[in-house]
Amino acid sequence: MNSKVQELKEFLGRVGRTALVEVAATKGSTPREAGAFMLVSISSIFGTIGGGQLEYMAIDKARQMLRPLSPRTGADSEARIEVDEVCATLDVPLGPEIGQCCGGRVEVSIRLVDASLERELIAKAEAEEAHLPHVYLFGGGHVGQALAASLALLPTHVVVVETRADALEGMPETVETRLTPMPEAVVREAPAGSAFAILTHDHALDFLIVAEALKRDDTAYVGMIGSKTKKATFKNWFLKSAEGSDAQFARLVSPIGGNAVKDKRPPVIAALAAAEIMTALVSHAVEAPRSTGAEKAMAG
């Protein structure tokens, strides 16, 4: 598994002199929020602050700061060298003047990366990665492979769980894989706020995993691939044989990705499901602090 932190370290170790371009402040409508950043070297970039002319201007300024400066001309040229600019600030209105129509304003800070700042960036990335929401995909078939690839691009920690070793081959480098004869046990070990997408090759196994997930009350999302008939069959089994409740069953999303788009190709299902899962994770993250605050108020 190759993490985003590893990618950052590899970039910093490979490109030589680098500048940090960071959104310092925003006003009105802007492409990215304060704190968004990118790294710029003479030949490559890592990350983005939103693209468009704003980003091009920031990259150009960063590369001006990175280029070696020439000695002054004249009698004292051997003794005097211009000092590198180590930081700069751009205050950019996002209007017609630069070919953007967001209407807001962005302040961008640009700093040359030294050893101290490099350590700070890595520490921040490690902290963010440690708190990424977990998404568990049960099943590495065609849809599982496509969904893993879609989620690997998003700020999530993806874990693909399988009972078949060959189904885990070819997963994206940033995806964690787990081979186990009892995938339902993985549900019990998952951190609070996790999302679960169940799409194995075996309906009976799907049912076991979904039942485990629905019996947790701290999940952000529980989804199962399948038809209306499969969902109805699961409900009957869940209520009568698995000691589940109607309230628990009501939290099940099935089919994953919804049914508004009548297209069953794996990449299409994956794109719809990834958007659905990401929406659920964001909503859960917003609601969790509210719930905690309400509980504390009631306890007080």
198-218 burial, b for 16+ CB within 10 Å, e for fewer? bbbeeeebbbbbbbbbbbbee
Question: 218: which residues sit within 8 A by CB, 6+ positions away?
Answer: 192, 193
Distance CA(90)–CA(29), nearest Å, equals: 17
Q: Are strands 45-47 and 37-40 parallel, antiparallel or unpaired?
A: antiparallel
Per residue in 154-196, pLDDT (tens digit) is: 999 999 999 999 999 999 999 999 999 999 999 999 999 999 9
The CA-CA-CA angle for residues 182, 185, 190, to 5°, reads 135
Which residues, in sequence order, are bridge partners of residue 40? Answer: 19, 45
What's the confidence (pLDDT) of residue 278? 97
Per the listing, tokens 């921040």 go with 124
Taking only the tens place, the pLDDT of each residue in 50-98 is 988 899 999 999 999 998 754 444 444 333 333 457 899 999 888 777 7
Spatial distance between the Cα atoms of 207 and 184, rounded to a whole number of angstroms: 10
How many angstroms from the chain centroid is the CA of residue 281? 11
Lowest mean pLDDT among 1-10, 26-35, 210-219, 236-245: 1-10
This prediction has a pTM of 0.81
* Single-letter amino acid, residue 258: G
For 272, half-sphere exposure in the C-beta direction (CA atoms, 13 angstrom radius) is: 19
Residue-wise pLDDT tens digits, 89-143: 999 888 777 766 777 899 999 999 999 999 999 999 999 999 999 999 999 999 9
CB 160 within 8 A of CB 137: yes
Quote the pLDDT of residue 84.
52
pLDDT (tens digit per residue) in 199-250:
999 999 999 999 999 999 999 999 999 999 999 999 999 999 999 999 999 9
| Backbone phi and psi for residue 43, each to the nearest 5 degrees, phi listed first | -115, -10
Q: Give the pLDDT score at 80.
A: 34
- Which domains does the chain show, CATH number per domain? 4-69+82-129 (no CATH), 132-291 (3.40.50.720)
3-state secondary structure of 200: coil
Position 72 scores a pLDDT of: 46
Contact predicate 167/139, CB 8 Å: yes
The mean predicted confidence, pLDDT, of the chain is: 89
The pLDDT of residue 275 is above 60: yes
Half-sphere exposure of 81 (CA within 13 A, CB side): 7
